[in-house]
Structure 1
């Protein structure tokens, strides 16, 4: 018992939100939970191993973090320090723009939570700019918390209530990603400013959050209006041999032995594993897309009809799965490729290595700024936001232009804002 207590005490002293722990831990946990597939890999006839790509990603990420940590480099100001005092005013302007667009979308009938097809048909321009509402409020609230000389539980409750209200507003749109980003950014700020969150507590919280958001997606699917063609659950009409049909039917029967709510708990990670494996299979047959996915991020703002990066991923993985008698993603829906899959599809192992090396470098650069300037600074807010978005992109991929712009703004803002260098301990 004493040994167990001492071990837990050592574990709880870990700064779980440091670059060395948080993102790698979530990435490993994500793919570890995907191992409990309940015969779904057999159903989709997965043939390619994802583990070489995952291990390479982790190694390169750690190399990036370690090099910058040892050199103690931070993001330079690029000679723009004069603009630091205007950052908060600009955030207020962005928040106002986001609020206006959000109200216009909601009053226009944009409740994405009511049905999956509604969520996909939200006005793209209003949807794009409405994201600035939660982004701006997140930065303003987090920075306000950071500046509190004495953070009491009462104040923490007030801030938490405002966070919850904004999260509810975006819950109405049916999107989980902004909710997760707000939630984890808030937890990280709470960890550094209010009370250090022990690892054992965090694991418990993480389990609850994972189950809640999994059930959110599960209920969203259950409540779909099946009379709409876009919500059809019919499988592809493809000719299979008698042996192939029997194998597919046997696999489906095995999957159906597991209750649907249990399948839903790790549905996202299992699907991510399936998509990544299928992407690797595609590149072996058809070669890499050589930048097409990443160009597509910016092409979506061009006039005319453009194919989004996630729709392109659907066009890549679905033809392979159709040959096996199953849709990975029901048309006309899009596919989240995981960040590893996003990089692999465009440039294979080389791009995976470069991408995760840059992730490690960027996160470590901002973390060093926090260590130098103190936690009561905008740098702590920037770090919390950046590492959260990077971690969430392990599943979603970093394919939304709005998130890339948000990251760019936060990183530049962190580099130009001056601090009084209060090296406070946490």
Structure 2
């Protein structure tokens, strides 16, 4: 990941702004631990550490220590650490009911409702709702994630194709691509979770954002015929038609991305977090919602993670000061330009050096953030562990022919009732 001169300027500006908003000095230095999910990339971790260092330099009375913990390890031990009072003061965690919602229900998160008002944190309302449980706002949404389909514009143009505008286009265009030795859709579901994204985006485009929300809320049934139809379409018919690699359950997520980046696959259904990895592609890339049966479909989105404060922190004021830094305009610009992330609050991108692809994604986010378009919910971040396990295991079984779409839908409905 390259660090531009403009990014350095943003960091310099960030230091000046933060220097003027440090809290009143206490005796000595207040230390807080800030735990993040390990990005598994040394360069990304270094950039995050650099941002934390900027905060520390601008706030000499506070010292934030960064801790990077593997995601699986964090999910295993965090709740135990928080209950014992040995957990981090501020931490990154998933925002769904089964994650942050469970911590909030257990009384392990600091109520930030008043902090939002007192500090005028400019978080998008729809994003703030995802970190609100039982009327309490308990976190700051860290990053917006948009689910959609990346497509190789050069391959489509060379094949005489346009971006698919309907499900029928996926099949007809797919036949042409297969004839040229190109995989229409890359898809690697060996880890189990990539299928969540395809299911979420295809279901939203097929049924609409409101219907999918009613499924998540338990107002509709996961084994209704229209849900079964989508499951059969994207995990059986697509596979049977050769739109995917032959054995998606044996292909890793990274290997699937490599098929797209190497030009062996024309389309890649995944999320906006991949944008930074696509920066060095030697072909033009477009980004679109998963098509509906009779039209272009709708985007699906969610929060990749949020940032929360432990209810047992001994330094709540310092923690809230750090949280204010995380939603500052300068931090937002740094996230956009340097980390290639979409903040959950408005950011003025004037003068920021970003790719046309990323600019397009940010424009789409601003569109639905201001009420200009509907945004469907990402299923996995809104459902609990039991449901997500049933979804992961069931989709892999459908892909290998072990169950039918109806049987999978029945298992999802059963899991939703647990």
| TM-score w.r.t. length of structure 2 | 0.26
| TM-score w.r.t. length of structure 1 | 0.25
- Give the helix-richer structure, 1 or 2: 1
- Give the strand-richer structure, 1 or 2: 2
Higher relative contact order (CA 8 A, sep 6+): 1
